[in-house]
Amino acid sequence: MNDYNGIKTKLLHANYLKDYLKNNNLLNLKYLSEKENNSIIFPIIKNFNLNNLDFDCSFVKCNFKAKIMKKTYKDLVLQIIPSELSFKFNKAYDIFGNIAIVEIESELIPYETEIAKILIESNDKIKSVYKKSGAFEGEFRIQNYIYLAGIENELAEHCENNVKLNFNIGDLYFSSRLSNERKRIANLVKLNESVLIMFSGCGPYTYTIAKNSFANKIISIEKNPKACYWANINLDKNKLSSDFIKEKYLKKKEHFDKIKFKGPLHVENHCGDVREIIPLLKKEHDYFDRIIMPLPHIANNFLDIALLVAKKGTMFHLYDFMDLSELENIKLKIKKECKIHGFDIEIKNIEICGEFSPNIKRICIDFLII
């Protein structure tokens, strides 16, 4: 029995058997499976009790072909840089559409072009590579980039969560690493909610919510004029202009009636300072069910103005960078600020959604006005 190196079953049961082998660490990942007429043979590490399976299969001997293990980006880079500098290599990179953004330590600058070319060769989706230059600058947290290899093109055509986002990488702040966090927020949005997004950039939160929820109204505010330009481009890219939405709503009115959706969805981008625009919204009696403040470091400073358009039942999502040891102090600060404006709150959730450094985490504090 120990001479058998494979297990055979009908193609009908292939997925079930493969899942069982993987879940129990029995699949030999060094070899490729083999098809034989209407059956399939999987390479296994060892024999086991077939009674655990509720379909027909049998142990067999097979001359499996070895998998050709493709070298990774990291493997290839470590071959071209001195071994004593290997700890300086950061294998992580961001992807904006088909543009990759890398970080290169000063000691590896002589190898940066070759590193960038290796990245393009190792990932078919990447056509351009830029490196970060310096820290974020100015009021709008703009990152400077230096071209390294591939097509010299700063226009990103990024897709995430069924959303299309176009932008020039040097015009605004954007993080593709927050894609899952944006989807988390969209999943929390309830039927017919009105949503305010402060510091909205080119629209990643705006359009993720618009395309993945049944929000009734979404108002976004952004001060960076270049980001505002791209936000309006992306409004059309995602077919969320008022004319398109009305047409879509009328075509599917019967479906929306069943879920009691007020519709049609209203998406509105404002370019300007939140301290100037939110008081205007208040004059129009706009109060929001959900307010999103994705500006770590200083979002706390704008809580007073956000509370102008809050009400009982408003859910806040406030982002910050902090050492987790500071969390209780931040909670108390938020509660105190809300109390000053006549609101009591309940902290519903603390979401860790990234990091600024090993000790400093990006967090989202979800709290409810009660």
Same domain, 101 and 218: no
Same domain, 227 and 363: yes
- The sheet with strand 128-137 has its strands ordered as 93-96, 99-102, 128-137, 142-150
What's the domain range around 132? 73-153
| Domain harbouring 139, CATH code | 3.30.300.110
Residue 1: per-residue pLDDT: 47
Same domain, 38 and 89: no
Q: Where are the alpha helices (H) located in the chain, listed in sequence order? A: 14-23, 73-78, 112-122, 179-188, 204-212, 225-237, 242-251, 253-258, 274-283, 303-306, 327-340
Q: Is residue 158 part of a domain?
A: no
Residue 213: per-residue pLDDT: 93
Same domain, 188 and 49: no
What's the 3-state SS for 88-146? HCCCCEEEECCEEEECCCHHHHHHHHHHHHHHHHHCCCCCEEEEEEEEEECCCCEEEEE
Same domain, 142 and 212: no
Global pTM reads: 0.81
Distance CA 252, CA 91 (A): 47
Q: Is residue 191 part of a domain?
A: yes
With CA atoms as reference, report the closest residue to 194 among 343, 302, 311, 363. 311
Residue 2: per-residue pLDDT: 58
Radius of gyration of the chain (CA): 26
| Domain harbouring 18, CATH code | 3.30.70.2580
Same domain, 216 and 364: yes
Q: Is residue 162 part of a domain?
A: no
DSSP 3-state of 264:
coil
Tokens representing 110 are 């002589």
Same domain, 256 and 359: yes
Q: Are strands 315-322 and 290-293 parallel, antiparallel or unpaired?
A: parallel
Same domain, 351 and 269: yes
Residue 242: per-residue pLDDT: 79
With CA atoms as reference, report the closest residue to 213 among 253, 178, 186, 182. 186
- If one counts every other C-beta atom within 10 angstroms of the C-beta of residue 15, the result is 10
Q: Are 148 and 129 in contact (CB under 8 A)?
A: yes
With CA atoms as reference, report the closest residue to 168 among 206, 131, 135, 142. 142
Q: Is residue 161 part of a domain?
A: no
Q: Is residue 170 part of a domain?
A: no
Q: Is residue 258 part of a domain?
A: yes
Same domain, 203 and 342: yes
One-letter amino acid for residue 128 of the chain: S
| Domain harbouring 180, CATH code | 3.40.50.150
Residue ending a domain, choose from 122, 153, 184:
153
Q: What is the mean pLDDT, run by run of 10 residues, along the chain of 370 residues? A: 83 92 92 93 93 90 88 94 96 96 97 97 95 89 96 97 96 95 97 96 97 94 97 95 78 81 86 97 90 90 96 97 93 96 96 89 97
Same domain, 89 and 203: no
Total number of domains constituting the chain: 3
Q: Is residue 66 part of a domain?
A: no
Same domain, 320 and 363: yes
Residue ending a domain, choose from 21, 38, 60:
60
One-letter amino acid for residue 166 of the chain: N
Same domain, 240 and 278: yes
Q: Is residue 167 part of a domain?
A: no
